[in-house]
Amino acid sequence: MQKDLREITKIAREVSKFTVRTMKATGIGTGEFDFIHVVRHNPGITQKEIREILTLDKGACARRAASLEAKGYLIKKKNPADRRSDQLFATPKAENLKLSKVDIETRYYSWLSQSLSQEELDTFLPLLHKLYRANKAESKAGFPHVTALMKGEADEAR
């Protein structure tokens, strides 16, 4: 059963490939999508905070922020709490990009789900949602259970 669950990752990877290919016309890459996503969900975030979330080095983060600002996806404002840093905010153009990405993914999954009968969808979707809720709760908690599993496997390998 565990190997079969990896197919979730494989499906998501193909959706991502298709989305990136489709969005290429906007001039935005996957790293930039992730950057915009973080800013959209954390208005006023600093580059230091983005670096911690995305594990980027200082130079890469600064280049990406400058590129997205030049393309009109982000705006910078001086941080009132620390005048040496800037806060980043998504522009309406970034919001439209998000909607475009969601639309592409939605259409892909709609196409993919056509291979299932309505009865199969009625069974599958609630189960998928249950997995999603468990995944989201684990993520919000900082992955304690999965981390413990990884540590246990590392201990067994010794």
Report the C-alpha gap between 68 and 94 in whole angstroms. Answer: 9
Q: Quote the pLDDT of residue 73.
A: 95
Report the C-alpha gap between 25 and 48 in whole angstroms. Answer: 29
Report the C-alpha gap between 45 and 51 in whole angstroms. Answer: 10
- Render each residue's pLDDT in the chain as its tens digit; 158 residues: 466 788 999 999 999 899 888 888 778 877 888 899 999 999 999 999 999 999 999 999 999 999 999 999 999 999 998 888 999 999 999 988 877 788 889 999 999 999 999 999 999 999 999 999 999 999 999 999 999 999 886 566 44
Q: Quote the pLDDT of residue 3.
A: 66
What is the enclosing helix (H) or strand (E) of 88?
strand 82-90
Cα–Cα separations (whole angstroms), residue 87 to 20, 22, 61, 82, 90: 27, 30, 13, 10, 10
